[in-house]
Structure 1
């Protein structure tokens, strides 16, 4: 019998990480299904803005990625109506056209071989911060997955359909997992669909908390060492997978069956 009451914090962290590797499970969804589920999850979390925003993931074919078809909202995306496009936004598979703003995704994928999924949305509270020209401030434990991992683009470059915007956004993102874009919204670039989805959810929640806190008083900063500890603790791959699976189950429970179901492979 292990006497955990005599263990120090690092020993307990390491023990818990081992247990999570053993006990936390991820869904068995395909890549297309995970992208479609991310669209539905983020719609439910307030990330929709009509036809604005893009969610992409590197496809199995080198140099290609999946994205939604322009003309469909996040709540209409299924595994079957996703497009596969190349870096020039030429459609390789599927019907219709991608959002031309996907061009800056191509720039990020080219600059960041580690990135497997990019999310760009205009959620209300992130957008409100972007209108104020304020960077995201991380000062709550739940948001520590974002600590020192969210860049800030202070000057809006205009509609992101040109190559210059792709260069600017990919440069400001650098090696970080997310960026708040002034007068615009959010971009997240992560090593998995699950991690990107969880980061996007938390960015919007953190922005909401920040606006509420700033309206009531002054935000107290976190101790950097503790914030970095929490960042690494929350951003474990197994935790991201388990969190994604929870939100996916919620999305699936809310969906009726049929061709518009997120897991439907019917091409329309």
Structure 2
């Protein structure tokens, strides 16, 4: 879909259509910042509009505490800027790569969560799962190899490691979570960090972690978890 950005957006059609997506990016960013899932301007969040295939994504270098909906950048599915005066996140390629590979996904979260980073530096290929985290992965949570932040190699590794799952660790970097909507993506991020926290705590106490091997839970099961979490 070819878009004349300034002309079409300022006429009101696409601009109004994406206002809610921009608000979601801001709201979730502040929520993650307040929970300590990311720091200052680190990490990135995006929401795809399935009708236009346009993506609302966090701008680079803007702190979550002061970010406003008008700061959010609109890009197409290939990462080209459609609307916005700021630079899009350096991880735009990772987000759009997920959207191109996973048409079922409409929201992506990448944040620098401390426990996922800590566990990933053990050079383990997986984060051990607990009961709730089985709903975001086909077993243990995979960890993508270490690649440079914002690089095409990181985007490629993340997309390949993610596969059909809803969350992965990024070695030395954080996590990537996604879902058909932001509620799903946010819950995937929360339970992934919780799984890593439990694994790190277990190891610190001298215990042994284990890896569940279970098929991905269905939507009904995941919705129940989201209700428990109050999402």
Given that 2:41 and 2:62 are in contact with CA atoms closer than 8 Å, whether structure 1 keeps it comes out as yes
- Structure 1 residues 221 and 32, CA, compared in 2 at 3 Å: closer, same or farther? same
Give the counterpart of 2:89 among 99, 115, 120.
99
Q: Which structure is larger by alpha-carbon Rg, 1 or 2?
A: 1
Give the counterpart of 2:203 among 210, 214, 228.
214
Q: Structure 2 matches for 1:1-268, cutoff 5 A?
A: 30-59=20-49, 62-134=52-124, 135-139=126-130, 141-146=131-136, 148=138, 150-153=141-144, 155-162=145-152, 164-219=153-208, 221=210, 224=213, 234-236=221-223, 240=226, 242=227, 246=230
Given that 1:57 and 1:67 are in contact with CA atoms closer than 8 Å, whether structure 2 keeps it comes out as yes
> How far apart in 2 are the matches of 1:114 and 1:128?
30
Report Cα offsets for 1:112-154 as digits up to 9, x if no partner: 1111111111111111112222321113x3444345363222x
Q: CA RMSD in A?
A: 2.7
Given that 2:21 and 2:56 are in contact with CA atoms closer than 8 Å, whether structure 1 keeps it comes out as no
The structure, 1 or 2, with the larger RCO (C-alpha pairs under 8 Å, 6+ apart) is 1
Report Cα offsets for 1:9-61 as digits up to 9, x if no partner: xxxxxxxxxxxxxxxxxxxx933322222111111221113332110110355
- CA offset at residue 106 of structure 1? 1.4
- CA offset at residue 79 of structure 1? 2.8
> How far apart in 2 are the matches of 1:43 and 1:184?
16
Equivalent position SS for 1:80 = helix
Equivalent position SS for 1:30 = helix
- Structure 1 residues 63 and 222, CA, compared in 2 at 3 Å: closer, same or farther? closer
Counting matched residue pairs gives: 211
> How far apart in 1 are the matches of 2:102 and 2:21?
19
- CA offset at residue 174 of structure 1? 0.7
Report Cα offsets for 1:190-229 as digits up to 9, x if no partner: 111111011111211221111111111333547656x866
Misfit runs of 4+, over 6 Å: none
> Normalised by the size of structure 2, how large is the TM-score?
0.79
- CA offset at residue 88 of structure 1? 4.1
> How far apart in 2 are the matches of 1:67 and 1:172?
22
Given that 1:151 and 1:176 are in contact with CA atoms closer than 8 Å, whether structure 2 keeps it comes out as no
> Normalised by the size of structure 1, how large is the TM-score?
0.69
- CA offset at residue 234 of structure 1? 4.1
Report Cα offsets for 1:165-189 as digits up to 9, x if no partner: 3222211111111111112211112
